[in-house]
Amino acid sequence: MDESVKKQDRRVQRTKKAIRNAFLKMLAEKDLEKISVKEIADNADVDRKTVYNYYTGVYDILDDLENDLAQEFERAIDSFDFSTRHVEDIFVELSHLLKKNLDIYELIMKIDGNSRLVSKFVVYLKEKIGSFIGRVNDYSAEKIEVAAEYVTAGMYMAYRHWFNSDRKQSLEEFTLDVSRLVMGGLPAYFFSL
């Protein structure tokens, strides 16, 4: 690839990242309907025209962000062979995924839990956890659904707490604690070495 093309690609990626980060910061502070392209451009330190070079509007930025993060999340989860990998490996991979885009996930976790993006992650994770539970044990569909809902909601709220806390624990340490809670319940969490 030509060096000038590489440089342009990096510039495009930096600009889109600045736009998306500005959008997420605003989304953490106010409702989606109250965010304007002009505000996003100002916060991203670009012209409105630049925003429109990449997006048709605010909802297009949200769609692009949701699609990219959801695809990355799905690729990471889909790469597991749940029948042969240890559950702890899933948590290690989740930690790597979060760390890769820590600034974006930090902003997402500050957004209302009813956002489309958060809902997509929760639904997808719940499906995968339910699928894993169903493969490991022969439980009824109702029991699997309740267990998957419980685990997913707990994980989401725990990570949301970590992202909104002073983070005295590293992400890796926190993920290990969440893994203990999920796999062994409160005794494993409180009485682990």
Predicted pLDDT of residue 19: 95
Could you tell me the residue ranges of all domains in the chain? Answer: 1-55, 59-190
Predicted pLDDT of residue 39: 96
Predicted pLDDT of residue 2: 62
Question: So what's the architecture of 59-190 in CATH?
Answer: Orthogonal Bundle (1.10)
Predicted pLDDT of residue 18: 94
Q: What is the 3-state secondary structure (H, E, C) of the chain?
A: CCHHHHHHHHHHHHHHHHHHHHHHHHHHHCCHHHCCHHHHHHHHCCCHHHHHHHCCCHHHHHHHHHHHHHHHHHHHHHCCCCCCCCHHHHHHHHHHHHHHCHHHHHHHHHCCCCCHHHHHHHHHHHHHHHHHHHHHCCCCHHHHHHHHHHHHHHHHHHHHHHHCCCCCCCHHHHHHHHHHHHHHHHHHHHCCC
Predicted pLDDT of residue 189: 81
Question: So what's the architecture of 1-55 in CATH?
Answer: Orthogonal Bundle (1.10)
Predicted pLDDT of residue 80: 67
Residues of the chain with pLDDT under 50: none
Q: What is the pTM of this model?
A: 0.72
